[in-house]
A and B are shown apart, each in its own frame.
Chain A
């Protein structure tokens, strides 16, 4: 799943979709995942980094990841 090219993100977690005018606030982790996705990083690698950095079980991360992708779709931030 690819983040739309024109989505603007800032260091403080502000996300702006210039095509719809929608804006969102993301916490530190969400904005860093979004930035990684925007840079074309592989989902597996992003998840691996999260597992190394945070105290989370792989099964839990998978569930959260699915939820995260759903939110990105709903927010119209990913290519379809």
Chain B
């Protein structure tokens, strides 16, 4: 089986690609060939041994679907891909759009629809919560500093300011909020989102839906160590039926197809707020596999047409602790990837 995987940026704001590859390697061992799909030549996963067999550069999402299709067609001619698992929010729109074409050339995916993708978007999250009875903090779309000032008056401080796709900052003063607004609009474009601050315990849930309303897997994880970018650097699986029911309910009402992550805040009263819904596996998804529910492997099996029996058990108290590692890379490999947009790392 040959699977193309994006999200090889195992940095301090990591993509899920490496964790997805580890999960798949564990499930399919020698029958598996991984083709990395990378946007930048410094994504660590390109150069790490034992993960992607070969990596190709692909065009940024802003280049559009024609450029993406053209590049994937070239890669497919060489590699004969069976499946692609995209792992970035920002690339999903394009991959969903070209899904019929991918299917027609024999490449499978297991993705949500454009409607599902849009419904949980940060911009629509509050309405989504209202419609389905989920608790979601109030938010405002910001297209100007005037909008920010108004949002600050209405939602109060501290105020969470979030990028359209990634990153969020908690701001304790209007000055700091302005700085975040400029930073995030320059990086991710408009609108920027202002969200009501909820104080509490951060919990994330990794889930997998079969597209028919059934929850194949749900794993709740409490963040134990959080980086200044808000990323979990250590976490632990926890046992909490309320969280599991929340995720199952999300899958039931959306008929979610594929992997997802719910970012939850539990406040002092025990109320569960959905802070964000990510439409793909989280970067910590290998913890789910380690706890006994290999979500990426189950996703591949479903894409291949297998009926999957939903997981019911997992190891509570399984931890992950992320670490940084200086991986040494030969300049020749870097040059090869930078100049030609492809690198076969298994050669060395």
Contact = CB atoms under 8 A, between A and B. Distances in A.
Contacts of B239: 6, 18-19
A7 to B, nearest CB: 11
A18 B238 CA distance: 5
Interface string B294-322: 00000000000000000000001100000
Contacts of B221: 21
Contacts of A8: 317
Nearest to B201: A20
Interface in A6-21: 6, 8, 16, 18-21
A16 B236 CA distance: 11
- Count class of interface residues, chain A: under 10
Interface string B212-245: 0000000001101000000000011111100000
Q: Is the interface of A mostly helix, strand, loop or mixed?
A: loop
B135 to A, nearest CB: 19
Contacts of B224: 21
A20 B238 contact: yes
Nearest to B316: A18
B317 A16 contact: yes
Contacts of A21: 221-222, 224, 235-238, 317
Nearest to B319: A21
Nearest to B222: A21
B200 to A, nearest CB: 12
Nearest to B241: A19
A42 to B, nearest CB: 28
A73 to B, nearest CB: 14
Contacts of A16: 317
B51 to A, nearest CB: 28
Nearest to A16: B317
Interface in B94-142: none
Most buried by B among A8, A16, A18, A21: A21
A8 B317 CA distance: 10
Interface in B230-263: 235-240
Contacts of A19: 238-240
Nearest to B242: A19
Given A21-B221, A21-B222, A21-B235, 12 more contacts: A6-B239, A8-B317, A18-B316, A18-B317, A19-B239, A19-B240, A20-B201, A20-B222, A21-B224, A21-B236, A21-B237, A21-B317
10 contacts: A18-B238, A18-B317, A19-B240, A20-B201, A20-B222, A20-B238, A21-B236, A21-B237, A21-B238, A21-B317
Interface of A: 6, 8, 16, 18-21
For the complex of A and B, 10 pairs with smallest distance between CB atoms:
A21-B222, A21-B236, A18-B239, A18-B316, A21-B238, A19-B240, A19-B239, A18-B317, A16-B317, A18-B238
